Amino acid sequence: DAGVTQSPTHLIKTRGQHVTLRCSPISGHKSVSWYQQVLGQGPQFIFQYYEKEERGRGNFPDRFSARQFPNYSSELNVNALLLGDSALYLCASSLGRNSYEQYFGPGTRLTVT
């Protein structure tokens, strides 16, 4: 069975640009969460989506937004990129709203120059 997939795997952008990252959850999973991991730190929670609705949001600025589609895949958008946005962006899927075990995709490594 396919796990969580993310695209692209690597991305280089310049300051001020915007970026869209994509995630497909494990088949049958309806919840997707996004995390940012800066080198040397644990992942930081950005968003959780379930049934196409935002269910939770971490402490990130409004430049970060996301959405979930009817097939449960998800996009994370970041506008007006800053150097500090350089990180590994991880998507995690879980079975349903009350399932706490989350399974991560390989991530998208974003470099902002």
- Other beta carbons within 10 Å of 83: 10
- Counting contacts by CB under 8 A, is residue 97 touching another protein? yes
Q: How far is the CB of 60 from another protein (least distance, A)?
A: 11
Q: Let me know: does 91 contact 74? Beta carbons within 8 Å.
A: yes
- Counting contacts by CB under 8 A, is residue 33 touching another protein? yes
DSSP 98: T
Q: How far is the CB of 16 from another protein (least distance, A)?
A: 27
Q: Which listed residue (8, 28, 56, 61) binds another protein by CB under 8 A?
A: 56
Rounded CA separation 112/94 (Å): 29
- Counting contacts by CB under 8 A, is residue 90 touching another protein? yes
- Which runs of E-coded beta strand occur in 4-105? 5-7, 10-13, 19-24, 31-37, 44-50, 53-57, 64-68, 74-78, 87-94, 103-104
DSSP 55-67: EEE-S--TTEEEE
Q: Which listed residue (68, 102, 110, 112) binds another protein by CB under 8 A?
A: 102
- Counting contacts by CB under 8 A, is residue 40 touching another protein? yes
How many residues bind to another protein according to rule CB under 8 A? 30
- Counting contacts by CB under 8 A, is residue 64 touching another protein? no
Binding site for another protein (CB under 8 A): 31, 33, 35, 40-46, 48, 50, 55-56, 58, 90, 92, 94, 96-107
